[in-house]
Amino acid sequence: MASTGDPDLQNLSNYNPERLDMSEIRVVLLGNSLSERIAAVNFILEVPLFSRKEEPDYTPVRGLFNDLELVLINTPDVLDPNMSEDKLTEFMENTVRLSTPRPHVFLLVLQPEDFTEEHDQRLHRVLKLFADRPFDHALVLLSTPKTKALHFMKKNRLPPCLKDLIKVCDYRFPWR
């Protein structure tokens, strides 16, 4: 990524959340389902800002959550294995610009039944482009209903790569 010549992308490894302005919390939503990411935004802000039928323009959305201003940055499907490297680079450059100076949180909106090793590898690769330790600022949102998520966990049916991802995120995984 550093070869793009974009100074923001070249300095992503200098990410330090302690130096960031906390007048707003910038949240980047990543996952493999647009409708689930939209549902997550609507759930977090407690108002339906997006319709699942609308074509997203990936403009950051502002809203309040517990008196904090949130800036939610939805993303294209970066976990799609068919996304070209050029498209991935374009996504990264756009997300860096939208989340200036840096994101505070990476919200990983995932479905346990659909999460694969390939998704996990791509997600790790994408997040490593943002920071040296992006998983310190990430949480996994299981978009499966709570009872189904509990069933997955009790029956030990979460994919091993998803279990590892939750562990790397220090077990920060609410679900809706």
| Number of other CB atoms surrounding residue 152 within 10 Å | 18
The stretch 119-127 carries a mean pLDDT of 89
Any domain includes 62: yes
Q: Which two tokens stand for residue 100?
A: 């200036």
Residue 56: domain span: 2-168
User: What's the whole-number mean pLDDT along residues 36-63?
Assistant: 75
Within a domain: 151 = yes
pTM of the model: 0.78
pLDDT(154) > 70: no
* Residue 13 forms part of a structural domain: yes
Measured CA angle at 130 (ends 84, 176), to 5 deg = 85
CA 24/CA 14 separation, integer angstroms: 20
Res. 109: pLDDT tops 50: yes
- Structural domain count of the chain: 1
Number of alpha carbons in the 13 Å side-chain half-sphere of residue 161: 15
Could you tell me which residue, 144 or 76, shows the higher pLDDT?
A: 76
6 within a domain of the structure (yes/no): yes
* Amino acid letter, 135: F
Q: Please tell me the predicted confidence (pLDDT) of residue 17.
A: 44
Lowest-confidence segment of 39-43, 48-52, 108-112 by average pLDDT? 48-52
Please report the pLDDT score of residue 6 as a whole number: 35
Q: Does any domain span residue 174?
A: no
Q: Residue 117's pLDDT is what?
A: 93
Structural tokens at position 40: 């997550």
CA 79 from chain center: how many Å?
A: 11
Structure token pair of residue 130: 């943002």
- b/e map 50-75, b = 16+ CB within 10 Å: beeeeebeeebbebeeeeeebbbbbb
Q: Is the pLDDT of residue 15 over 50?
A: no
Q: Is residue 31 part of a domain?
A: yes
**Model confidence pLDDT, tens digit, residues 55-72:** 566 778 888 888 889 898
Residues 152 and 158: beta-carbon distance below 8 Å: yes
Question: Angle, to 10 degrees, between the axis of helix 117-128 and the axis of helix 160-168?
Answer: 30
Q: Distances from the Cα of 162 to the Cαs of 17, 30, 63, 127, 159, in angstroms?
A: 25, 14, 29, 15, 5
Phi (first) and psi of residue 25, to 5 degrees: -110, 120
Residue 173 lies in a domain: no
Output the pLDDT for position 28. Answer: 92
> What CATH number does residue 153 fall under?
3.40.50.300
Is 50 part of any domain? yes
Please check the confidence at residue 10 and state whether its pLDDT lies above 50: no
End-to-end Cα, the chain, rounded Å: 34
